[in-house]
Amino acid sequence: MQKIIILDFGSQTTQLIGRRVRELNTFCEIMPYNKFPADDPDVIGVILSGSPYSVYEERAFKLDFNQIRGKYPILGICYGAQLMAYTFGGNVEPEGTREYGRANLEYMEQDNPMLKGFQPNSQVWMSHGDTITKLPEGFHCIASTSTVKYAAYAADNEKIWGVQYHPEVYHSIDGTQLLKNFVVDVCGSRQDWSPNSFVEQTVKELREQLGNDRVILGLSGGVDSSVAAVLLNKAVGSNLTCIFVNNGLLRKNEFTDVLRDYEGLGLNVIGVDASQKFYSELAGVSEPEKKRKIIGAGFIDVFEAEAKKIEGACWLAQGTIYPDRIESLNITGKVIKSHHNVGGLPEKMGLKLCEPLKWLFKDEVRRVGRSMGMPEHLITRHPFPGPGLAVRILGDITPEKVRVLQDADHIYIQALRDYKVRLSGEEARRVLAAGVPADMKDGEIEVSLYDQIWQAGAILLSDVKSVGVMGDERTYENPVALRAVTSSDAMTADWAHLPYDFLADVSNRIIREVRGVNRVCYDVSSKPPATIEWE
């Protein structure tokens, strides 16, 4: 299978480059900068990512270009472009001020293959503190901006290009066009990587891998585990048994609603209501990390007890997706994130591990779900923390506090689903690229607030009391905070700018309808410095 290799030099947007390449129906792999797969015959091109370093620093990540130069087409992005210029004999120097934000291209060589289909003065997004001040011999400029002389360059007689902006972000209007020019026109991608082809190929591989073995899958109600279950069901049918554990910390009615959805999909599901066990073990515990450990250990206990009842089980399936497995590099060059097995269950239970979604990004998981006919509300479900509402109750956990938060959260999430907004321009492109089904009309799309944002939820400040007045009486009850963020991968996130009339209506409804709440706040913190969840 054809593939593009993206060499990661530590940029926060490396995964976004991968997603844009996948959107071109082309398979790609993200590899650490020093682990190029030299013996892979399927590689058709190489992209070099950005980096937090300067190329002239001693600690900067360097690349042995003998592995790729003259063998594959190369596209360098930001640091990648500067690294090539510097390594091949050009100059890279610090700028007086950091170049950050929008800029517009002026073309020096409009007919260059990398600029095919570009709009006049195309807007791009800059984010760098250094700039190329001299190109190496054998290279020439193809585009500039008002402040960056070598915004894009090309080799005279080689298939090498560099851009000192970020084509992978939505602010770069022709960014996808540039990547298409490279991946499809230059590298020759057949564009045969698609949800349908993935399902067909993966089902075939799963049948070969699993044979007639029995498989167990822990369901969470989330997108990843649900899509993994449907995919495995296509491959092995009744040999798949799914276990869905209610820890008492799910959203309102979620246990019964999700079980009904799964049964409608034809899955063999065992539902286990262990809520009282979790409430008992969490009683009096306020420290966030301790809550997480209790919930994690409790899940393993319940899951293992149910799994032992399934005779002949050989495999444990997980909804692990590609970002979970990509090695990320911190500024020391040490691996800080690698392939994970939740809870160590495979080793503990003596089962082999099966991960049918291990090559997919989140938006691709959703597209695969749609291609298999899964209901939209399962596919578009926001990420939800593994410990559930326990990390959205600040303080100890009681059934009454869970009831209060479930009621407030239910009003909030349903209101997000019901409130429609019209989007255009960059915002519409971002939402459509994430796979949200919407029809463009007169340059606009209509979507719900829920579909426009990455993640939302309510938080109960159960250790805080707030004075209020209801009717003629004074109240002394808990505040609820509402959280909603926009993001592409959860590595960074901005608070969602929800309409004031929406927030006013939701606040009024929660205070009026949820017993125990007399104040509603909205969290306007971004990540960083805050995190998406409060605990």
How far, in Å, CA of 318 to CA of 30, rounded? 21
Q: Is 168 a catalytic residue?
A: yes
How far, in Å, CA of 152 to CA of 78, rounded? 10
- Of the candidates 314, 247, 294, 305, the one whose C-alpha atom is nearest the C-alpha of residue 274 is 247
Q: Is 205 a catalytic residue?
A: no
How far, in Å, CA of 126 to CA of 138, rounded? 25
Greatest extent of the chain over all pairs of C-alpha atoms, in Å: 83
Q: Is 364 a catalytic residue?
A: no
Number of neighbours of residue 222 by Cβ within 10 angstroms: 17
Report helix, strand and coil shares of the chain as percent, to nearest 5: 35, 25, 40
* Cβ-contact 508, 455 below 8 angstroms: no
Number of helical (H) and strand (E) elements in the chain, helices listed first:
16, 24
Catalytic residue among 23, 28, 29, 78: 78
How far, in Å, CA of 325 to CA of 358, rounded? 7
Catalytic residue among 168, 254, 306, 477: 168
How far, in Å, CA of 163 to CA of 152, rounded? 4
- Dihedral over alpha carbons 454, 458, 461, 465 (to 10 degrees): 140
Q: Tokens in use for 74?
A: 């190369």
Q: What is the DSSP string of 192-248?
A: ---HHHHHHHHHHHHHHHHTT-EEEEEE-SSHHHHHHHHHHHHHHGGGEEEEEEE-S
Catalytic residue among 128, 166, 254, 364: 166
How far, in Å, CA of 410 to CA of 423, rounded? 25
* Cβ-contact 100, 126 below 8 angstroms: yes
Active-site residues: which are they? 78, 166, 168
